[in-house]
Amino acid sequence: MAKTYDYLFKLLLIGDSAVGKTCILFRFSEDAFNSTFISTIGIDFKIRTIELDEKKIKLQIWDTAGQERFRTITTAYYRGAMGIMLVYDITNEKSFDNIRTWIRNIEEHASKDVEKMMLGNKCDLQDRRQVSKDRGEQLAIEHGIKFMETSAKASINVEEAFFTLARDIKAKMDRKIDSTGPSKSAGYQLSGKDGSSSKKSFWKSCTLL
Amino acid sequence: MASEAEERQRLLRAVKKEVKQIMEEAVTRKFVHEESSSLTSLCAAVEACLLHCLKKRALGLFKYGSTMALLQKLSKVFEPAAEVSKLVSDMESPSSTELSGSRKSLDNNKNQTKKSTSSIPSSPKFLWLRVAIFHKKLAKILDYLVQNSSKYYEVEALIADPVDGPIFASLLVGPCALDYTKMKTSDHFWTDPPADELVQRHRIHSGNHAFASPGSPKRQGLQVRRDASNAQEEARDPKTFHMSAREYVESLHQNSKLTLLYGKNNVLVQPENKEALAGYLSLHQSSEGLIIMWTPNQLMNGCCEDSREETDRSQYWEFAMTIYLDEVVYIHCHQQPDCRGTVVLVGQDGVQRPPIHFPKGGHLLSFLSCLETGLQPNGQLDPPLWSQKGKGKNTGKVFPKLRRKGSRLSSSTSSSSSSTTSMDEEEATDYVFRIIASFKPDMLTPEMLDPKAPRSSHSPRNLPNSTTPAAPEERAPWPVRRQLPPSPLVRSSVQAYALSQEEQNESCLVQASNDATHRYYDYINHIKQLCDIMTKQIISRAFYGWLAHCRHLKTVRTHLSGLVYHVIVAEDDPIDASDGLTLQAWDKLCCDGVVKDSGEVYRRVYYGGVCHELRRQVWPYLLGHYKFGSTPEEREGLEAAMGADYEKVMSEWLAVEAIIRQRDKETVAANLAKLSQESTDGHIPLVRKDSSLSNEVFVSFESEELSRPETVVEESSTARTTPSSDRKTSMELSITAASTSSMGGIDRAVGTETPPVAIVKKDSVHRGPSQQESPDDGLGGSFARGESVVIESERPKTDSVGDSGILTPMTPRSLPADVTDRIQMTAKLSVDSAVEDGGSVGGGLDSASSTGGGKSRTGSATDDGEQLHQQQGLGSGKIEGGLTVEKCGGPGSRVQEYEDALVSSDASDHLSASKESLLSPASPASNGGIYSAELLDSVALNLHRIDKDVQRCDRNYHYFTPENLEKLRNIMCTYVWQNLDIGYVQGMCDLVAPLLVIFNDESLAYSCFCQLMKRMSCNFPPHGGAMDTHFANMRSLIQILDSELFEHMHLHGDYTHFYFCYRWFLLDFKRELVYDDVFSVWETIWAAKHMTSSHFVLFIALALVQVYRDIILDNNMDFTDIIKFFNEMAERHNAKQVLKIARELILRLQTLIDNK
């Protein structure tokens, strides 16, 4: 009888190989960093249940192989995804350039209303940085998605990123389901406002920078 | 004495291991659970140490061998021990039976699963040790014990040892500093059980046998895994029932054992003295008849997901109903005006079953109609539901207007049904149905049917089942519900069916006749007739059954016969091969270094694997690199040729790599510049100048090499003196010559830096890992490497980097310019050092000149232009450019090209040079000197990927030190360079790694890898269509060999696409198994190709699924579950078992196909 969660969100991590998808996932699901990961072949997923607005949300996060050769396989998983994390490596410009390709991929294969978010990983490696935060933010603005710089190693923003994405999905869901209920929609608006306000400040900071 | 010391070390090692384990757990998970298995093992290790040479009398009257006694002894004199002792006794008071810490308690795990609510297991192992650790007292106690060891221990005891004792005590300080919790973290509750736990549970629940021999897959129809009587027994024993709760719920769904005829949720049932419960009502048809099951909702929902709930749920099991319709005679229906309905089932014994309340809507009706359909052909409802409809009353309702409840007793003949229909007009709400189990002749005993002896004595002769058909008019007005034995009767359903059909016919006929003798005559007649029909039916049934089987076989043969060879090679013929290829066996097979009997080798490898020491020798044979029957000389020759070839290819891609590295560096520099925004306009011209200069010199270089050897005689001669066969080195050397002859400002700077580099270089001939560590020095690195093909010095590179680093601030330029400078300098540095080296060695020349020749050929087409450029270049006397060029003739042009793009239009010669490079007829692969931009791009991309993957390849495995990773990288790059059309695909590294581990030889591993890739390359996307074939084959195989599992996969989100096997097939299970197992699995696969099947991987995959099939079924795994499960089970499979099953599966398929 006990339902262990109120929502089940399927998330997907995509991005070039070796940008740190698996590490981000490991950081989020086990709160640890493992430098000995090998390249992901095929597909794997991890689960973590979080609590948002007193709801238990089970996040089922799929980790994919980065190399574009595997895209035919990985795109099969796009469809069920409710949120997608696009990851690039700030010390690798190519991985940043490829974000556009990945976005195109999403547009092609994922459902239309999938929530997206962009992560610039390895932000602890400042001395090897090749992609400025600015450019990341610019690209995010261009595609109208949220953006964060993360570090799985230093545990920067990983938690926040997943919570943000989950919150967005939940907000979208609530809006869909409870559009009739006035109390609920108010609740949504509130959270929506939160989201947009944070978004706004985020835009602002982008333009300032 | 020595053995005592050994023993002490052994004990100490065990403790160390456990301490390490638990500390790791604490780090990775942030907490350690009190019931963690690593804690238990730690306690066990500590206990063993404590017991080591304990004075027998020290414990006085206490039990010998119990450290608890020791604690109690200690507690009298040592405060912390007293505290612990008190805590322990507090804990034990409820269950004082278990005083001895060392005694084995009942299996902890079992207790946990049965009643996980108990916070402290009633009888944990090593209780006092645990308590002491939890309260962080153990280290103190042990320390005290060590200090006062003489009291309690013999001299040779571990504790008493002056060295080991304190070590032992201090080892425990770490674990005592940790925090332990018996709380499950919130995460813990919410996560799905990990694969480990599933396997563990399975072991507990199913006993040992199930794990040792995974359920034998059979064709569906032939297998009866669980019958209803079984379930009944379970129902009687709530505990076992409880254990298989999940299975029970699963059984309610449509499955191979029971056909689901009807299912409705939220059906209320009112157990005695209880309020009505909602539950799921289902009607099943099994081979023994109909079963009505009702399960409370509480059991249906998330059954077994959370063990906490189980205790609460257990009470509901008492309410769950399983009713065998065999035992039911009457069905009372009460229809309420609001269309709700209640059904009461009355058994033969007259006992009413709890009423079943159907919700609103026509559910009652549909239930009854399903019931009626299900009853046929062996039974029917009386009165029949559908006859009412047939009478076509204007109601149009399907639900019959039946006898009123009151009329049941008075008018109960079937003929009265017509009279009841007359009462249809009024709303009838209560009905009674009788279940007529019409004819199950084989279940009737003659006495039951007919008391008259003569008839029964006649009939058996004619009836196959020694039964007499019923004589209705001699029985009750309608057939009596016979007492059926609860257990199913063994009989052929075909026969039963035929009989019942016949009997129905016959009973009608019989009914028509009145006269006894006439009837008897008729009877004989009919029996004859009946027998004829029966014979026909039986024969036709048998025929169709046989036909179906044949068809099935045909399908198997057509689809799967290609998967296995049809010749079965026995394991024990001529001799048992299960030991594998042992040293002795190999010696026997290998006469004078020639191995001829390939069949025997394969057979032994297939059934028993290769002895590890032999792998290095045997694997090349298995992979087809060595031919069976080849002499050692031939093989050596092959090796040499391969080695030379390998080095040649390597030099090719190393050259390209050099260009790419420079290019990358410039990009990086540009990015850095962009980022730091330090560059100012004033510096930009300088950059341009540099590049244009380099272009000029580049041209000059080429022509220098090809058309004017006399001008560079010196340089080329130095080149020849280098030990390297690599063209690049010679070029580098010529560069140095050039640079020394005409030096720019930078060169001077370089010159000052040179000597130390050269010195370092000489002493470090081993290739270093620096390439990976510092991408910046890549250029220098590749040069240094070029010097002796495989060997590259680490220090010169780092030095040169360091130097350039030092130099950087000195050059007051913009960043990009800076970097190019740096690059050039690095180049020079290494080149200079190469000269020194070369001078000292003086020897090999050959290929350097030959490649030079090749270059000149390719270059000759554009000879004229080059000469021109050369003159210009020489005239301008700019060295830096020369460097870039000379690095690697052709590649240099690419550098130029790149710079072209970077710094647009400069000098005219520069333009022409780039043009020339683009237009050059030289093919890229020929290494003639010019590479297309696309080629470079693709190589760059591949190299980048290889680097990324090599760096992370099996970092945990001891073999892969930086040096060996470099070997791996070389092999990978060489392969990719040779197969650029395929390119590098993730996973290839995984395939090289085990080969390299075995061979520890680049060129041999490379050759074998090429052999391996002949089979594997078709798996890799995008060319690989083989994956889909694998999946399709898996599908067919599972369908045929384990249809139950297939059905399960199909029903649970249909994962019969078998994507979860992707990694298995792509990497030949490399990621699924530990290294030692990978070796044995791989060699079995290779041998199987010549023995039983070239698709052995399929059978391994199948075996893996087989091993866990029961877990998959029991846990209702869907696609996500199974992915998670197998990902978590990676490297924990029992490879021996899997291989054994795989071979058995092949054998089974072979016999199946062979079975004519």
DSSP letter for each residue of B503-525:
HHHHHHHHHH---HHHHHHHHHH
Please state the rounded mean pLDDT for residues A54-79: 84
Size of interface A-B (CB pairs under 8 A): 116
How far apart (Å, rounded) are the C-alpha atoms in residues B1094 and B1030? 12
pLDDT band at B135; cut points 50, 70, 90: confident
Residues in chain A within 8 Å Cβ distance of B994? none
Task: Answer with the residue of higher pLDDT: A35 or B993.
Answer: B993
Q: At what angle do helices B745-763 and B879-887 cross, to 10 degrees?
A: 40
The predicted pLDDT at position A114 comes to: 92
Asked whether the beta carbons of residue B675 and residue A130 sit closer than 8 angstroms, the reply is yes
Contact partners, residue B646, CB within 8 Å, separation at least 6? B974, B1002, B1003, B1006, B1007
Predicted confidence (pLDDT) at residue B826 exceeds the cutoff of 70: no
User: Of B740, B931, B927, B746, which Cα lies nearest the Cα of B847?
Assistant: B927
Nearest to A45 among B191, B674, B1120 (CB): B1120
How far apart (Å, rounded) are the C-alpha atoms in residues A93 and A100? 12
Contact partners, residue B204, CB within 8 Å, separation at least 6? B109, B110, B113
Domain A7-178 has CATH 2.20.25.90: no
The predicted pLDDT at position B450 comes to: 42
- Which of B590-594, B614-618, B808-812, B1094-1098 is predicted least confidently? B808-812
pLDDT band at B688; cut points 50, 70, 90: very low
**Please, what's the b/e burial string for A138-158 (b: 16 or more CB within 10 A of its CB; e: otherwise)?**
ebbeebebbbbbbbbbeebbb
The predicted pLDDT at position B644 comes to: 94
The predicted pLDDT at position B448 comes to: 42
| DSSP type of residue A15 | E
CA distance B32 to chain A (A): 14
Asked whether the beta carbons of residue A93 and residue B949 sit closer than 8 angstroms, the reply is no
Predicted confidence (pLDDT) at residue B1071 exceeds the cutoff of 50: yes
Single-letter code of the amino acid located at A108: E
pLDDT band at B702; cut points 50, 70, 90: very low
Residues in chain B within 8 Å Cβ distance of A5? 190
CA distance B563 to chain A (A): 25
pLDDT band at B699; cut points 50, 70, 90: very low
The predicted pLDDT at position B504 comes to: 57
H or E element, residue B434: strand B430-436
CA atoms within 13 A on the CB side of B427: 7
Residues in chain B within 8 Å Cβ distance of A76? 1059
How far apart (Å, rounded) are the C-alpha atoms in residues B933 and B941? 12
The predicted pLDDT at position B755 comes to: 40
Nearest to A69 among B944, B955, B1022 (CB): B1022
Three-class SS string for B893-932? HHHHHHHHHHCCCCCHHHHHHHHHHHHCCCCHHHCCCCCC
CA distance B67 to chain A (A): 37
Residues in chain B within 8 Å Cβ distance of A36? 952, 955-956
User: Of B482, B512, B511, B529, which Cα lies nearest the Cα of B378?
Assistant: B482
Neighbours of B197 (CB within 10 A): 12
H or E element, residue B594: strand B594-595
Asked whether the beta carbons of residue B949 and residue A35 sit closer than 8 angstroms, the reply is no
Nearest to B1062 among A42, A49, A94 (CB): A42
Residues in chain A within 8 Å Cβ distance of B298? 1
Asked whether the beta carbons of residue A69 and residue B28 sit closer than 8 angstroms, the reply is no
CA distance B28 to chain A (A): 6
In the block, which residue shows the tokens 């994405």? A165
- Which of B93-97, B921-925, B1091-1095 is predicted least confidently? B921-925
Preceding amide of B383 cis, omega within 30: yes
> What tokens does B1134 get?
């029992």
**Please, what's the b/e burial string for B753-787 (b: 16 or more CB within 10 A of its CB; e: otherwise)?**
bbebbbebbeebeebbbbbbeebbbbbbbbbbbbb
CA atoms B899, B904, B906, B908: torsion sign: positive
Residues in chain B within 8 Å Cβ distance of A73? 1021, 1059, 1062
- Which of B191-200, B221-230, B307-316, B538-547 is predicted least confidently? B221-230
Residues in chain B within 8 Å Cβ distance of A30? 28-29
The predicted pLDDT at position B886 comes to: 39
How far apart (Å, rounded) are the C-alpha atoms in residues B1131 and B1139? 14
Predicted confidence (pLDDT) at residue A54 exceeds the cutoff of 60: yes
**Where are the domains positioned within chain A?**
7-178
Let me know: does B782 contact B656? Beta carbons within 8 Å: no
Let me know: does B1027 contact B1065? Beta carbons within 8 Å: yes
Q: At what angle do helices B684-707 and B727-741 cross, to 10 degrees?
A: 120
Torsion on CA atoms B789, B793, B799, B804, rounded to nearest 10: 10
- Which of B180-184, B650-654, B720-724 is predicted least confidently? B720-724
The predicted pLDDT at position B69 comes to: 77
Asked whether the beta carbons of residue A93 and residue B298 sit closer than 8 angstroms, the reply is no
**Percentage of chain B surpassing pLDDT 90?**
16
Predicted confidence (pLDDT) at residue B729 exceeds the cutoff of 70: no
pLDDT band at B65; cut points 50, 70, 90: low
CA atoms B933, B939, B943, B944: torsion sign: positive
Ramachandran angles phi, psi of A3, nearest 5° = -90, 125
Task: Answer with the residue of higher pLDDT: A181 or B1034.
Answer: B1034
pLDDT tens-digit series, residues B429-485: 677 888 776 654 444 444 444 444 444 334 334 434 433 443 333 333 333 334 434
**Percentage of chain A surpassing pLDDT 90?**
51
CA distance A77 to chain B (A): 11
B965, exposed or middle or buried, with CB in 10 Å at 0-12, 13-18, 19+? buried
Let me know: does B499 contact B465? Beta carbons within 8 Å: yes
User: Nearest-CA residue of chain B relative to A47?
Assistant: B191
The predicted pLDDT at position A5 comes to: 85
Asked whether the beta carbons of residue B675 and residue A45 sit closer than 8 angstroms, the reply is no
Range among B70-74, B376-380, B626-630, B789-793 rated most confident:
B626-630
Preferred mutation among B29, B190, B1016 to probe A, highest tally of A CBs within 10 A: B190
CA atoms within 13 A on the CB side of B510: 24
pLDDT tens-digit series, residues B146-205: 888 887 888 788 888 888 888 888 888 888 877 776 654 444 444 567 787 778 777 776
Residues in chain A within 8 Å Cβ distance of B954? 38
| DSSP type of residue A90 | T
Asked whether the beta carbons of residue B305 and residue A2 sit closer than 8 angstroms, the reply is yes
User: Nearest-CA residue of chain B relative to A129?
Assistant: B672
pLDDT tens-digit series, residues B505-536: 555 444 554 566 777 888 888 889 989 999 99
pLDDT tens-digit series, residues B962-978: 899 999 999 999 999 99
H or E element, residue B826: helix B815-841
Per-position DSSP letters for A148-177, written without gaps between them: EE-BTTTTBSHHHHHHHHHHHHHHHHHHHH
User: Nearest-CA residue of chain A relative to B1028?
Assistant: A73
pLDDT band at B38; cut points 50, 70, 90: confident
Range among A48-62, B198-212, B275-289 rated most confident:
A48-62
Average pLDDT, chain A: 82
> What tokens does B256 get?
């191979």
Let me know: does B507 contact B470? Beta carbons within 8 Å: yes
pLDDT band at B811; cut points 50, 70, 90: very low
> What tokens does B666 get?
């410039």
For chain A, how far is it from start to end, CA to CA, in angstroms? 52
**Percentage of chain B surpassing pLDDT 70?**
55
Mode of pairing for the β-strands spanning A115-121 and A83-89: parallel
pLDDT band at B23; cut points 50, 70, 90: confident
Please state the rounded mean pLDDT for residues B197-214: 60
pLDDT band at B848; cut points 50, 70, 90: very low
> What tokens does B684 get?
């930009």
pLDDT band at B40; cut points 50, 70, 90: confident
Mode of pairing for the β-strands spanning B277-286 and B259-269: antiparallel
pLDDT band at B611; cut points 50, 70, 90: very high
pLDDT band at B373; cut points 50, 70, 90: confident
pLDDT band at B1101; cut points 50, 70, 90: very high
User: Of B82, B90, B85, which Cα lies nearest the Cα of B66?
Assistant: B85
The predicted pLDDT at position B562 comes to: 83
Let me know: does B222 contact B545? Beta carbons within 8 Å: no
Asked whether the beta carbons of residue B671 and residue A130 sit closer than 8 angstroms, the reply is yes
Task: Answer with the residue of higher pLDDT: B562 or B33.
Answer: B562
Residues in chain B within 8 Å Cβ distance of A91? none
CA distance A205 to chain B (A): 18
Task: Answer with the residue of higher pLDDT: B1044 or B466.
Answer: B1044
Mode of pairing for the β-strands spanning B341-347 and B277-286: unpaired
Predicted confidence (pLDDT) at residue A55 exceeds the cutoff of 60: yes
The predicted pLDDT at position B482 comes to: 40
Single-letter code of the amino acid located at B654: L
The predicted pLDDT at position A44 comes to: 87
Q: Bridge partners of B334?
A: B342, B430
Nearest to A17 among B191, B945, B1067 (CB): B945
The predicted pLDDT at position B437 comes to: 64
How far apart (Å, rounded) are the C-alpha atoms in residues B1057 and B1130? 20
Angle at B1134 between CA B1133 and CA B1140, to 5 degrees: 125
pTM: 0.53
Asked whether the beta carbons of residue A43 and residue B1062 sit closer than 8 angstroms, the reply is yes
The predicted pLDDT at position B840 comes to: 39
Asked whether the beta carbons of residue A17 and residue B302 sit closer than 8 angstroms, the reply is no
Asked whether the beta carbons of residue A93 and residue B671 sit closer than 8 angstroms, the reply is yes
Q: What is the separation of C-alpha B59 from the centre of its chain, rounded to a whole number of angstroms? A: 52
* 3-class DSSP assignment, residue B258: coil
CA distance B729 to chain A (A): 31
Three-class SS string for B698-744? HHHHHHHHHHCHHHHHHHHHHHHHCCCCCHHHHHHHHHHHHHHHCCC
Average pLDDT, chain B: 67
Asked whether the beta carbons of residue A2 and residue B308 sit closer than 8 angstroms, the reply is yes
Residues in chain B within 8 Å Cβ distance of A70? 986, 1021
Chain A residues with CB under 8 Å of a chain B CB are: 1-5, 17-18, 30-32, 35-45, 47-49, 56, 58, 60, 65-67, 69-70, 72-73, 76, 93-94, 129-132
3-state helix, strand, coil in chain A (%, to 5): 45, 25, 30
Predicted confidence (pLDDT) at residue B206 exceeds the cutoff of 80: no
How far apart (Å, rounded) are the C-alpha atoms in residues A98 and A15? 8
> What tokens does B277 get?
């419960």
Asked whether the beta carbons of residue A5 and residue B1066 sit closer than 8 angstroms, the reply is no
Asked whether the beta carbons of residue B1062 and residue A48 sit closer than 8 angstroms, the reply is no
The predicted pLDDT at position B231 comes to: 39
